[in-house]
Amino acid sequence: MLLNTTQAHLNTVLELLDESLDLYEDMRERLPETSRRVQLDSMMQQRRELLEGLRKAGMNELQLRPRVADQEIEGLTHLLEQFRSLWQEPATVALDLLQDHERELQRAVLELHQDAGSLGPTLKTLLQELDGHLAAAEVWFQH
């Protein structure tokens, strides 16, 4: 099925959200057990809920069908992690990889915002919630 521009942008955001959750699960044990990690756990739970809401709204408002995320990204991320760990601490590598992925997700969300006129009310509301969530995540990564 060919996707229109709005569907393609939403699909990219959905895939990146899904990949970010997988990446976080992979990197979680490398992060020190602190109150910051507890905060990030809570943020990732919120992200799961946003992802599910966006998927449902995409199906209802854009007739977007569920798609399978790119499985090759995990292998590439693992290789990058191994390479970086040659000169960095595991926690630093994990945070850097998570932050790099966040930047990619933010770029995809900006592209979706360009199509905001063709989004339904539920998707617009969820996109605003995602904006707030990503802003909070950015603050978390900066501290």
- Kindly list the structural domains of the chain, giving each domain's residue range(s) and its CATH number in brackets, ordered by start: 5-142 (1.20.1260)
The span from the CA of 63 to the CA of 122, in Å, is 13
Output the pLDDT for position 80: 62
Q: What is the pLDDT of residue 115?
A: 87
Q: Residue-wise pLDDT tens for the chain (143 aa)?
A: 688 899 999 999 999 999 899 888 888 888 888 898 899 999 999 999 999 999 999 999 999 887 665 556 566 665 666 666 666 677 787 788 889 999 999 999 999 999 888 899 999 999 999 999 999 999 988 87
Give the model's pLDDT for residue 23. Answer: 85
What pLDDT score does 73 carry? 59
Block residue for tokens 């601490």: 89
pLDDT at position 85 is: 61
Q: Which residue, 13, 19, 14, is CA-closest to 72?
A: 19
Q: What is the pTM of this model?
A: 0.85
Tokens linked to 94: 């994990």
pLDDT at 50: 97
Q: What's the CA gap between 96 and 78, in Å, rounded?
A: 13
CA separation for the pair 8, 13 (Å, rounded): 9
- Residues 121, 127: Cα–Cα separation, whole Å: 10
